[in-house]
């Protein structure tokens, strides 16, 4: 337990550095997708598995009137996120909670964002988390997901890395696995794109309730 706490304490700095430099800019894609929400006042937004809240801060800059919550289970990553947010005058709420049991009412949010979170979960917990997202989204609510995808080069090596670092279940989001999971929970897929960065192949999915 102590080892994990120390790891996540230093992971905050690492994640902030990496997120700002990802090839193909998945966070810029996220911001482009929320353009339709800019006319709404006090839109309710959740980033699930938020880590340090990097995506939440980007959304806040795009939607300054939004009510944004960043949820993660790691107190170290949330603590890092709070410190960064305080330095920039952010009003994001950082909440320690399990993505499989979200502390929000049914149909209470217009937008949920998941950035490189779902592959971290086991298959059973991943399905539960998507079910929770479906529960808390309003009818017509928007879900934006950025997550890992199949590697174009060194595919076997990338899958071996996933097996060692995240377990056998992580590969289930690759290819059409993520889209299949979302549709099985009643989401309508509006678009799916891909980023073929050499270090982190990823996909970006826009889905609606």
Which pLDDT score is estimated for 24?
Answer: 46
Mean pLDDT within 202-207: 92
Q: Is 70 exposed, middle or buried (0-12, 13-18, 19+ CB in 10 A)?
A: buried
Which is more confident, 17 or 93?
93
Output the domain CATH number for residue 195: 3.40.50.150
| Tokens describing residue 131 | 């079910």
Top mean pLDDT of 24-28, 68-72, 77-81, 197-201 is at 68-72
Which pLDDT score is estimated for 31?
Answer: 83
H helices present in the chain, as ranges: 2-19, 26-33, 54-62, 75-87, 123-136, 155-166, 177-184
Share of the chain above pLDDT 70, in %: 83
β-strand 202-208 against 188-195: which pairing, if any?
A: antiparallel
Which pLDDT score is estimated for 6?
Answer: 45
Which pLDDT score is estimated for 4?
Answer: 45
Whole-prediction pTM value?
Answer: 0.85
Contacts of 66 (CB under 8 A, 6+ apart): 37, 42, 43, 44, 45, 59, 60
Which pLDDT score is estimated for 149?
Answer: 87
Which pLDDT score is estimated for 25?
Answer: 67
Confidence at 198, pLDDT banded by 50, 70, 90: low
93-150 confidence digits (pLDDT tens): 999 999 999 999 999 999 999 999 999 899 999 999 999 999 999 999 999 999 988 8
Domain extent at residue 139: 2-208
Query: Is residue 156 scored above 60 in pLDDT?
Result: yes
Query: Is residue 57 scored above 50 in pLDDT?
Result: yes
Q: For the chain, give the mean pLDDT.
A: 85
Mean pLDDT within 72-100: 95
Mean pLDDT within 162-175: 79
Which pLDDT score is estimated for 10?
Answer: 46
Mean pLDDT within 32-46: 82
Number of domains in the chain: 1
């Amino acid at each position: 337990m102590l080892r994990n706490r120390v790891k996540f304490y230093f992971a905050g700095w690492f994640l902030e550095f990496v997120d700002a430099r990802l090839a193909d800019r998945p966070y810029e894609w996220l911001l482009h997708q929320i353009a339709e929400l800019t006319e709404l006042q006090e839109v309710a937004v959740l980033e699930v598995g938020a880590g340090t809240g990097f995506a939440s801060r980007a959304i806040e800059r795009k939607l300054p009137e939004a009510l944004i919550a960043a949820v993660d289970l790691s107190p170290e990553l949330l603590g890092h996120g709070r410190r960064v947010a305080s330095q920039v005058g952010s009003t994001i709420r950082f909440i320690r909670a399990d993505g499989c049991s979200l502390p929000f009412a049914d149909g209470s949010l217009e937008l949920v964002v998941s950035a490189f979170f779902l592959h971290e979960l086991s298959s059973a917990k991943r399905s539960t988390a998507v079910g929770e997202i479906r529960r808390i989204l309003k009818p017509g609510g928007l879900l934006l997901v950025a997550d890992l995808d199949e590697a174009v080069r060194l595919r076997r090596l990338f899958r071996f890395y996933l097996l060692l670092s995240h377990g056998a279940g992580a590969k289930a989001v690759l290819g059409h696995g993520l889209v299949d999971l979302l549709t099985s929970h009643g989401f309508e897929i509006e678009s799916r794109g891909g980023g073929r960065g050499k270090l982190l192949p990823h996909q970006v999915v826009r889905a609606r309730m």
